[in-house]
């Protein structure tokens, strides 16, 4: 599901829909974080709960890059602005967030392929 979302994000960005790209990229990272948690038999119901639990399990234990995690987590506000506040994302911003999502998904894959 996360890979599908990042693919949709890339397609939206390329088609001139930066806000849709930001939303899809954010959800790709959220779903990847939830998948990582499920590998540890842990689950959270909310976005905040997912990020907090991911932080406790993977950041606090130094199993995942803190900076990458913080960047992904901060994307939630940009996504909310685009989805709920009608604040359009800039094309450059969407490209950066899509690239971030691709890095985040790769890092989650690496977390369990070691």
- Write the pLDDT tens digit of every residue in 47-58: 999 999 999 999
**Average pLDDT of 10-28?**
97
- Sorted by sequence, the CB contacts under 8 Å of residue 37 that are 6+ apart come out as 43, 44, 50, 53, 54, 57
114: pLDDT strictly greater than 80: no
**Tens digit of pLDDT for each residue in 91-107?**
999 999 999 999 999 99
Q: What is the pLDDT of residue 113?
A: 86
Please state the domain extents for the chain.
Answer: 2-112
pTM of structure:
0.96
- Sorted by sequence, the CB contacts under 8 Å of residue 41 that are 6+ apart come out as none
CATH class name, domain 2-112: mainly alpha
Q: What is the pLDDT of residue 2?
A: 93
**Tens digit of pLDDT for each residue in 56-86?**
999 999 999 999 999 999 999 999 999 999 8
Q: What is the pLDDT of residue 14?
A: 96
Q: What is the pLDDT of residue 76?
A: 96
């Amino acid at each position: 599901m996360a890979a599908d979302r990042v693919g949709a994000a890339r397609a939206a960005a390329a088609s001139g829909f930066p806000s849709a790209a930001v939303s899809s990229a954010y959800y790709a990272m959220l779903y990847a974080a939830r998948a990582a948690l499920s590998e540890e038999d842990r689950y959270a119901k909310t976005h905040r709960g997912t990020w907090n639990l991911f932080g406790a399990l993977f950041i606090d234990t130094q199993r995942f890059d803190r900076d990458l995690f913080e960047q992904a987590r901060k994307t939630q506000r940009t996504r909310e602005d685009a989805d709920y506040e009608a604040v359009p994302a800039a094309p450059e911003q969407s490209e950066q967030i899509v690239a971030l999502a691709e890095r985040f998904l790769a890092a989650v894959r690496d977390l369990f392929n070691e």
